[in-house]
Structure 1
Amino acid sequence: MCGIAANVGEQILSLLGYNAGCLPVRYLGVPLISSRLKGSDCRALVDRIIARAKSWTCRALSYAGRLQLVKIILFAIQVYRSSIFILPKAVIKQIEQTLRAFLWKGSDLSTRGAKVAWEYVCLPKKEGSLGLRGLEEWNRAAMLKHLWHICTDKEQSVWSSWIRTHLIRANNFWELKIPGECTWAWRKILKLRPLARANFKFRHPLGPLVERYGERLIYDSGLGRNAVVGAITNGAEWDWPTAPSMEWMEVKNATPGDFKPNPMRDDFLQWGGDPSGRFSVKSAWESIRSRGPEVEWHRVVWHKKAIPPHAIILWLAVRNRLNTQEKLCVHGIISEVRCVLCGQGVEDLDHLFFSCPFSERLWLLLCDKCNLPWIQRSWVESVGWMIQNSKGKSLKSLIYKRMFAASVYAIWRERNTRTFQDKARHVSSIVYDMMFWIRVKCNTLHGLSPSQENRWLQRSWGISEDVFWPW
């Protein structure tokens, strides 16, 4: 209680039977604070994410399984809080550290041994990454929703109405200076305006003149900075400024004679980050996120019919992030680099895929199923060949991509089984499993053309004839 004497406050509490409290208190799951948000205020959020990550104790979870848990569950825990506050950087760092540790090491949450730097993991798949989102960028995108409500939600929201009435008043929101004394939350919202302004588009015939014509024209006209296009209209006719300005004359002459203002239309704002003009957090994130170059191989790794455990191992191989013996030797972890599959060559990516006699035999057995001639190539050349020869949506292209990913996955798994469990499987047994994986996925297709090539592949792989039905 504020603004009253201490003895008066005690009397009120005594009469009402309440106890005096202090900020911060929790309301609707978030802390109510009178100062800036501190790391201690978000401790419960961080602890909840850590506890949830540690609850999945099954060591059999693959990278692909943990990736789905990070995307769907762990990341979602912070979404509500991120849409209300700008989270402190220390909190964002703790949360991302937990997500990164769980992705690469599981529920142990070890911070060592990440395969790929987190900033590269948080890029779209077409840019060669896993499609996660950076928490800081997502937090800012979610907060842009408040700016959108301030500018567009004229009557429905009590909060936005209060902001316009008591904080913005008659000022231009975009030009409003950050007050020396204002709440931490309001200051953070005002600091987001440069991010929003690039995508907030006022539409003619009504709206700020600055957005329509630029600051120089407004200065020449003698109108105020907050003037709207309605200031140069008179009903359904134009009322151009009389200022002796060449720029204004150019605007007047460039306006078609049949283009008249519509006084019955209200101001409206469009979000430039989406073709529909409607704001969404997803499109806001897309407009402000970090970007990387698009990679050609993403269609080979992340196509719609990809098997997730296969895809992520192939992704690591393409990025040269598999811990082969050759790489471990370079870092001084081991001294022997002999391939465990053939017992002869040096185990690196070129040898494993597909120069090793064991892996070459496995790959050639699959190539025979496609009547595909194959010559020995380096790993980089093999990836390039697959990019060029698996384009399109034909059954052949789909089988090429699936058997490529399945081969990399099966070879790497067999290598690990022999290295850590001292168990070995025959090539024919591994190929049988791979054909089963590919066949099951292909059986989910429908509406394929019953061409001679597709018929031959369907019989060769044992795929159901239902794939040719239109339903």
Structure 2
Amino acid sequence: MQRVLPLLIDYSQNAFVPGRSIIDNVLLAQELMAGYNQRRLPQRCTLKVDIQKAYDSVEWDFLLEVLRLFNFPHQFITLINQCVSTASFSVSLNGSIHGFFKGGRGLRQGDPMSPYLFVLVMEIWNSLLRFRIRNAPEFQYHWKCKELGLTNLCFADDVLLFCKAHLPSIKVLTNTLTEFATLSGLKVNPAKSQIILSSSVQQERQQILEYLGFHEGSLPIRYLGIPLTSSRLTIADCRPLIDKVDARLAGWNNQNLSYAGRLQLIKSVLSTLNTYWASAFILPKGILKSLEKKMRRFLWHGSSGSGIAKVAWVQVCKPKEEGGLGISSLIATNQALMLKQLWRILQHDGNSIWVDWVYRYRLRHSTIWTFNGTTGSWGWKKLLKLRPLLRSGVTYKIGDGSSFNLWQDVWHERGPLCLTYPQGPRITGLPLTTLLSSVLQRNQWCWPASIDAEIVAQLPPTDPTAADTIYWNSSSGTYSLKSAVSLIQPSTPRVLWYGLLQGKFKVPRHGFVLWLAIMEKLSTMDKPWVPRAENGCVLCDGHFNETHEHLFFNCWYSKRCLSILKSKIRFHWPYSEWQRGLIWASKNGEATTLLMRLFGLPWQP
């Protein structure tokens, strides 16, 4: 069923459909609700509809009729009927399970088939809504929705409806919801639904509210877990994200975790909690720095500790091969995730309603490179500021020239020619909408004689037998988060000792302590975070300062211990200086495992 959903489901629904993204709903809703606080813009409204007990209310007869309508095989429909109608339920009362009883409707939550069936049910409502609107001349679309025929965004049972703030239009939407409820059993819960009216709605406001019976909401509102605003995202709007991180940290308070354990939790849990938000917005830097501060404190001191970090966070965030711990910078990750949205626009992603809307209403007469309009949400404006990064991450390969704009695409090393050579369209007589193919004939450039000679001298090669292609500058030629982060974060040379920390049989906690030793950040007495009365080495009766070099090579007690260890494990360390010994160990395969064992034993956190 999953394979056929993209063919059956309108792209205003993005839940559980392969190739579609929940982020499209958030991005498009944000664009449509931009400027709701401005009275000079057209009157419009958004209905945030709550469907009462959505999965539990689907009528089985209606579901089976939906499957027949979509021409699913009879045998398949019979199997689905058996799956949904044979379930029995029991009730937990005072800690005991009592009885079994048959259900009469609904889809079982947790069943992997249920989401797909529910999406098909909602598609019938979508089709019904389109049909009623086509036959309702009084209906007026929401601003910037008519060309796409856009009236709703659905993600399973999370529904947004859009129209002009005009009572006859609202009646068309609500009447369709009522009709659909009669057929399917899916009813609107007015107590949990709300309507958001733009500030330009004055005279009809009270009349609309009285008719609907919905609560009047105000921006920001939460949609799919993310705040939608009419202005920029504030730190207060991001409070739920901070609270989520704090809740995770609080749950780890009583766990005695090693450095390596805390590092793994940061990578697998804390670093990913903001990924969803970071895929939809350029988050405020204050929020990202606050999250990184919490991660840094947790790494070095646990959930409730505080103090000085042993190694600078910039070093920690470097890739492992460059001497760091491989934690991605949240700011770089946020920008990399948003670069993906620009990449999707460049690729004209056909599965995305948001990309389609962008081309219809934002890039009608321009490209992503030359758009300079002042309209749009704050998120759109922030996204456009990433264009220089995108430019450094993509390459245009010219084929027959039929897909690239002559003046507004970045196929030329100068960038968009309409910006670097603004008089070009006037001088050549070729308008801004001209395609590159108009100056290509039989694999030869055919420019007007009036064109700037420098432009002609820098023309790239072409391949008329191939299609125009835009490549991401990576080995695969397509976007990946890792390659985008590498594009944003400046790389440093690979460290020689990288191999000492990596390997199939190496213990992570030993590797972390060895990394601290390599950084010369072990807790010797000369370090500022170590509580002490004096700097003297206690093993030498305080006669010498306890430093990194002293601890390993000059302390008489350490020398004796190392001598015994070397004799027992037949291990020869030929140097008495840390850096020279480190270089030797990096080149000596046998020394790698021995070093990790050696440094991992005495200085466990």
Normalising by structure 1, we get a TM-score of 0.75
- Contact conserved, 2:281 with 2:379, CA < 8 A, in 1? yes
* CA distance in 1 between partners of 2:537 and 2:470 (Å): 65
- Contact conserved, 1:238 with 1:261, CA < 8 A, in 2? no
Return the offset for 1:339. Answer: 3.2
Aligned to 1:292: 492
Return the offset for 1:89. Answer: 1.2
Aligned to 2:479: 279
Return the offset for 1:73. Answer: 0.4
Aligned to 1:32: 228
Return the offset for 1:238. Answer: 4.2
The count of corresponding residues between Structure 1 and Structure 2 is 395
Aligned to 1:121: 316
* CA distance in 2 between partners of 1:292 and 1:44 (Å): 36
Match of 2:239 among 38, 43, 54: 43
Match of 1:132 among 308, 327, 339: 327
Gaps of 5+ in 1: 391-396, 417-471
AA of the residue aligned to 2:219: L
Aligned to 1:321: 521
Counterpart secondary structure, 2:449 = coil
* CA distance in 2 between partners of 1:376 and 1:237 (Å): 65
Aligned to 1:73: 269
Match of 1:261 among 464, 469, 472: 464
Which structure is higher in strand share? 2
Aligned to 1:233: 440
* CA distance in 2 between partners of 1:23 and 1:302 (Å): 49
Confirm or deny that 1:18 pairs with 2:18. no
- Give the fraction of aligned pairs with identical amino acids, expressed as a percent: 34
Confirm or deny that 1:406 pairs with 2:602. no
Confirm or deny that 1:349 pairs with 2:548. yes
Q: Deviations over 1:148-186 (max 9, x none)?
A: 111112422110010111011121320222x33432011
Q: How does 1:12-411 map to 2 (within 5 A)?
A: 12-58=208-254, 60-110=256-306, 112-177=307-372, 179-205=373-399, 206=401, 207-209=404-406, 210-212=410-412, 214=414, 215=417, 219=424, 223-224=430-431, 227-234=434-441, 238=444, 240-243=446-449, 261-262=464-465, 266-272=467-473, 274-327=474-527, 333-335=532-534, 337-340=536-539, 346-368=545-567, 371-375=570-574, 377-388=576-587, 390=588, 397=589, 399-411=590-602
- Change in 2 beyond 3 A, CA 1:369/1:221: farther
AA of the residue aligned to 1:402: T
AA of the residue aligned to 2:351: Q
Higher RCO (C-alpha under 8 Å, 6+ residues apart): 2
- Change in 2 beyond 3 A, CA 1:43/1:351: same
Gaps of 5+ in 2: 1-196
Q: What's the Cα RMSD here? A: 3.1
Q: Deviations over 1:322-371 (max 9, x none)?
A: 22123459x99421513349987643222322444544444345534664
Q: Deviations over 1:212-231 (max 9, x none)?
A: 46447994855456543211
- Change in 2 beyond 3 A, CA 1:152/1:352: same
- Change in 2 beyond 3 A, CA 1:302/1:226: farther
- Change in 2 beyond 3 A, CA 1:212/1:172: same
Which structure is higher in helix share? 1
* CA distance in 1 between partners of 2:379 and 2:490 (Å): 25
- Contact conserved, 1:353 with 1:408, CA < 8 A, in 2? no
AA of the residue aligned to 1:377: S
Counterpart secondary structure, 1:26 = strand
Return the offset for 1:108. Answer: 0.6
